[in-house]
């Protein structure tokens, strides 16, 4: 397959039709001049790419929960399931957002209780950890704890949505063999003059 991943991908240079249109939208959104590798994993199916892109934007484009907290949840879920690509990507976004350095530093601490974060943020990470590791055991008490920390139902739903989105994304990334940022970067071919 392509550069170490287990699925075929459509490169940016080879994209046509719906894939090219979605790639253009993704490139414009991020302003990085490239399509992040993760989106290329589903590029051979435009319907999959559209759903993935819409899901990503549903998490990060707006809402009640601060963007840096959503990025932290995404990175935390990725760390919990050992998806280094996703950890690195969302730490990069924390950097691009100029997020408080304690958010990024917290990912280096294994135990949520030891993280130097405000209690309300730690509570959302606890909930995200339970979603990731034992969702079948979550009860109303888990949501009540988040409410007691001052989070609204809308914010708790966003935390739930973010954790669930990144549970499926991290598994897709790991199963497909994407391990590092830039892994699917296109190599420019120099044509002799």
Two structure tokens written together for 55: 């899901």
Model pTM score: 0.93
CB 6 within 8 A of CB 176: yes
Q: What element of type H or E holds 172?
A: helix 153-176
Two structure tokens written together for 180: 């590092």
Q: Which domains are seen in the chain, by residue range?
A: 17-60 (no CATH), 67-176 (1.20.1290.10)
Whole-number Å distance between alpha carbons of 176 and 92: 21
Q: What is the pLDDT along the chain (193 residues), one digit of tens a residue?
A: 456 899 999 999 999 999 999 999 999 999 888 999 999 999 999 999 999 999 999 999 999 999 999 999 999 999 999 999 999 999 999 999 999 999 999 999 999 999 999 999 999 999 999 999 999 999 999 999 999 999 999 999 999 999 999 999 999 999 999 999 999 987 543 333 3
Neighbouring C-alpha atoms within 13 Å toward the C-beta of 184: 27
CB 116 within 8 A of CB 105: yes
Q: Residue 3's pLDDT is what?
A: 64
Q: Is 182 exposed, middle or buried (0-12, 13-18, 19+ CB in 10 A)?
A: exposed
Whole-number Å distance between alpha carbons of 74 and 120: 16
Residues 44-54, buried b or exposed e (16+ Cβ, 10 A)? eebeebbebbe
């Amino acid at each position: 397959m392509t550069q170490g991943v287990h699925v075929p991908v459509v490169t940016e240079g080879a994209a046509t039709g719906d894939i090219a249109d979605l790639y253009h939208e993704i490139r414009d959104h991020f302003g990085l001049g490239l399509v992040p590798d993760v989106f290329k994993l589903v590029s051979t199916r435009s319907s999959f790419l559209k759903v993935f892109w819409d899901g990503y934007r549903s998490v990060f484009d707006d809402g009640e929960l601060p963007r840096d907290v959503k990025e932290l949840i995404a990175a935390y879920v990725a760390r919990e399931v050992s998806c280094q690509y996703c950890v690195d990507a969302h730490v990069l976004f924390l950097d691009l957002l100029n997020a408080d350095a304690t958010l990024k530093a917290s990912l280096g601490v294994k135990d949520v209780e030891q993280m130097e974060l405000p209690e309300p943020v730690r509570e959302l990470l606890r909930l995200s950890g339970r979603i990731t590791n034992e969702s079948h055991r979550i009860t109303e008490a888990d949501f009540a704890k988040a409410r007691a920390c001052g989070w609204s139902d809308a914010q708790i739903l966003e935390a739930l949505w973010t954790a669930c989105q990144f549970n499926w994304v991290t598994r897709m990334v790991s199963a497909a063999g994407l391990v590092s940022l830039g892994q699917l970067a296109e190599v420019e071919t120099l044509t002799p003059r």
